[in-house]
Each structure stands twice: as C-alpha cells, then as structure tokens.
A and B are shown apart, each in its own frame.
Chain A
C-alpha cells in the first residue's frame, strides 16, 4: 500500500544513534521525515530509531487486521490515512460494531504529543498501542495469540528479524507500531506558506479569519504554536456526558473533570467530526459553539466567552481553518 500525502516523505539520511535497548544494523539507512516550517525536530527516543525496516514493518502492522481478535479490525480502521489518520466517525467503532465513548483522534504529529488519548492517560506511543489492541470494544486482541500469528507468518517473522534481530514480542510489536506512527507528520500547508512569507497563500477570507483566530476570537490562546495546540487540558464548554469525566479519570482531581486534551488543528478540514466525542460534524458548528461562549457550565475554561461574531466572521474563521490541511 502506498502512503497518502499526509504521511509522505521518507528520505534517506545519515545513520541515527543506536537505541538504548538494542542496536539496529549500522548499515541500515535512517529515515528522515519532512517537517513543515517551524516544527521542532521530530522527537525520536534513543531506543526507537527510525530505521526503514522498522518503519515499514510498523506500517504493515498498522494496516493489518491480523492484530485484532477476529481479524476484522486494523489500527487503520479507526486511523485511516485518507482521513488524516482518523475515521470520519463521531466515535470509534471496534470489533462487532461495538462503539467507544470517544472520537478516534488523528495520529498526525503524534510524535510531538506529550500526552496521548483525549484524557492524556497513555504515555509513550509504544505503550499506547496496547490500549486499542486489547480493549474489548476495539481490537480485543489476545496478545499472546497475536504474537503467535505473527511468528507463524513467514513474512512477518522475517520482517521482525530484519528490523529487530529477533521475532515478534510485545516489545518489538509495539516498537514497530510506535516507530511507524512517529513518521506521521502533517504536510506544509497554505498557512505555513503564509507564515513563511508567501503573500498569496491565503485568500482574503482566510487572512481575515487568521486575524480573528489570533486576535478577538481568542482561539490562539489554546491552539498555539506550529502544532496549533498548547498541549494542555481544558473544559471547552461542551455539554457534559457523565459517563466520561475526561482528565479527571486519570488524575482523580475534581478540578480536571470534563477537561480533555486540546487537539492540534492541523488537517482540521479533514478530521471531521470534531471534539472528543465527535459531536460537531462541521467546522461551522465548532465555530458556532465558541461564538455562543460554550455551555457556560461551572468549570468551563474562563477564556471561552461569547464572541458576537457576524456570519461573515464565522465564515472567515472556517476559511482560515481550512488552510491547515494543505
């Protein structure tokens, strides 16, 4: 399978340092990933170098439903390359059509995330991979069985040995998946071109929208920096679902109730629907929500207040958000 534009750009570069836990073949050429202007260097932990063998193995595994109990669900089922590595659904759907509580987040730029999952509960990309793999309503994998399947597959067994010098294990399976996901970086967009001096990159409406975004509308207070997120957790004023307390489930702190990770707005036009539970189908609905000032419930972030935008201003904001894709 060829990679879509969102996950493109494998270039050969100099060899990277060896990992803390094993040493890849020094003759293995390293993989470099194109980064949009202004992005920090790609975070690559020493134990997880981006070797071509590991990236390719991780890619194959990512798209292969062999990892699920009944071989029907792959990682890519909820994180489709054609949809900026999300799935276009309000909430994720797993084995047997079971649904989850939350929207499948885009995996673009996941390497940069300090916290994973909407509530920030998962730590590394490797550890996080276990969550959907083992969740009964997602891939419901019996890890021991999955490893047996991979080991019994001649091609996979060989690919693991090429990549790691050993066969499939919890360590190598999750490391392959994590390594592949680190290469998923958003592409340079019209917004980036505008930031670097291209005066023709944005339409007039998008330019006006950017001024609102960074100014009166206050979006940039949370959606800041090249990744358009400050990586914090916030209650952005959505009506609450008592079944999902967000960050509080992890920290056990009442103050974190109904706070969710501030997502990156990169590829926003492609990652509909929006919010942690996918309740908004369009960017217009998102803008309307913030224009209303959220729900006004106690605990809502104080930066969210009615904006009193005109219809034209709402359209301008949407026009700007659409420049974050390509």
Chain B
C-alpha cells in the first residue's frame, strides 16, 4: 500500500511538473508600449500646459507632442522576427496613380499622444523567449500613408483626430511626428501672445518615415505582462533647429524641407527603445 501511494505521488508530481513546463513554453507575453515623454531630458508634464521647456534654444510651452509608431518588430536571438499585429481594418486609399482601392491593415500602429498625457498603449502578444532587439518605424510607410483617414474606423490610430490634426488633407498623408508650442521670447516666464511666437514642426511624407533599429536585448516571459519602454524625447527631435530664427518656426515638411530634414535625422536618437520591464 505504501509503495502504491508512493508511486501515485511520484506520478502526480511528474504530471504536475510536465503541465508547468508546457504552460511556460507556450503562453505568450502580453505587451504594453510604455512611453516616457521628454523634452531634452526633462519629463514632459502634459498636466501643466503652461510649463516652459527649452527647445531649439528658446523657452517654450508645448501645445502638441505626438508621433506615429508602426512596423514594430521584435528580433529574436535565433534570427527570426515577430511583427506585432494590431486589429485588422480595411480602409479606402487612393494610390499614387489616383486609383481608388482598399487597404487591409493588420499592423500594430500606435498614435502616441504625449500632449494628452497618454503613456501606455496595448501591443498585443508576442512569443516568450530571448530577443536581440527590435525595430520600429516612426511614421507610416507605403500604402498605409495613403489611407483615407476620414474613413478609417473611429478609434483606430489611422482615423482622423478631431483634437489635433494628424492627417494632411492637402497632401494625402499623415503627420508622423508633431511637436509645437508657443515661445517665451520676451523672457517674462509666460508664453507670448504674439502669433509669431507659435511654432510647429510637423514631420511627414513617406520619404521622412524613419525605421529605427535597437540592439538592446530583452527577454519576454511566458504568461507575463511586460512593458516595452520607449523614450520619446520631442526636444531631441529639434536638435540643430533654432527657434529664435523665425524662418525655422513653421515646418509642415513640404514648406520647410531643411527643418524637416534636420528633425528626421534626429528621430533615431529622439525615439529610443530602453528595454523591457515586467509587472
């Protein structure tokens, strides 16, 4: 009888251990994008619209700070890749040849709204395991950038926003990175009332989309909730841009290619992956 009980116990333990092994190896990790918004290393405080930061050599408030992330791809150590998928939607597009068509979008696209104080975005699931890094695009590429934002499903990142414009209706494309504010040129500690003190850096057009590669390794744990941490330093986007120069204060890409080009060159350092945290 004791031998039977001992054998039963051993068998139970063996089954239990096997069950644990299969759970850990098959369950994916659930991921959240955690954005750390900064202005040249200083945390962006969306709750205080009158806060002043130094951008482009000048004190300024921040009235808009947003960017698009897409094509988020995790790079496994075995050389394979995991492209994060989002909800599948179908949107009308106009091709560059002017033909009406539709595009099925299943990519995980995130519209980061740092000016609204938003810092967390669901990314879905990814297989557990060891990763060598990740890539992501700041902006939208290909036909995704020709989607008709007015007809994208409400709530989707591609849908036209009514609070801050994320879509150029006059140039068939999205604003990939948006950073704007009001300068304090008279140094009184408050934003100027003069319209000439407003500034806008709107980066877009397919040529300005930037794919960033990070070689920061990380591990995803089976069944865990984990955060991919990304610093979005909007101030760093403006490195090399002088806002004391009025000619550099308005950039909608096409009308100020020089400023846009500088901003684009800063993207890979301004929007940087910092690793993974677990809950």
The chain A residues found within 8 Å of chain B, CB to CB, are 20-21, 43, 45-48, 113-115, 117, 121-124, 126-131, 134, 143-144, 147, 169-171, 174-175, 231, 249-250, 252
Contacts and interface: CB of A to CB of B under 8 A. Distances in A.
B100 A124 contact: yes
A127 B149 CA distance: 7
A252 B170 contact: no
Interface in B76-106: 90, 92-94, 97-100, 102
Interface in B211-260: 254-255, 257
A114 B165 CA distance: 24
B147 to A, nearest CB: 9
Interface in B50-98: 90, 92-94, 97-98
B153 interface: yes
A122 B254 contact: no
A170 B159 contact: yes
User: Interface size bucket, B side?
Assistant: 20 to 34
A130 B166 CA distance: 12
B257 A175 contact: no
A127 B162 contact: no
A252 B168 CA distance: 15
Contacts of A250: 171, 254
B160 A130 contact: yes
17 contacts: A20-B90, A45-B100, A114-B94, A114-B98, A122-B169, A123-B146, A124-B92, A124-B148, A127-B167, A129-B169, A130-B150, A131-B170, A170-B162, A231-B98, A249-B255, A250-B254, A252-B254
Contacts of B154: 169-171
Contact of B172 (A123, A170, A171, A231): A123
Contact of B170 (A43, A47, A117, A174): A117
Contacts of A171: 150-152, 154, 159
A297 B4 CA distance: 102
Nearest to B93: A123
Contact of A122 (B151, B152, B170): B170
Contacts of B148: 123-124, 126-127
B207 interface: yes
Given A45-B92, A170-B160, A126 B170 contact: no
B94 A123 contact: yes
A54 B99 CA distance: 23
B205 interface: yes
B255 A114 contact: no
Among B149, B163, B165, chain A packs the most CB atoms within 10 A around the CB of B149
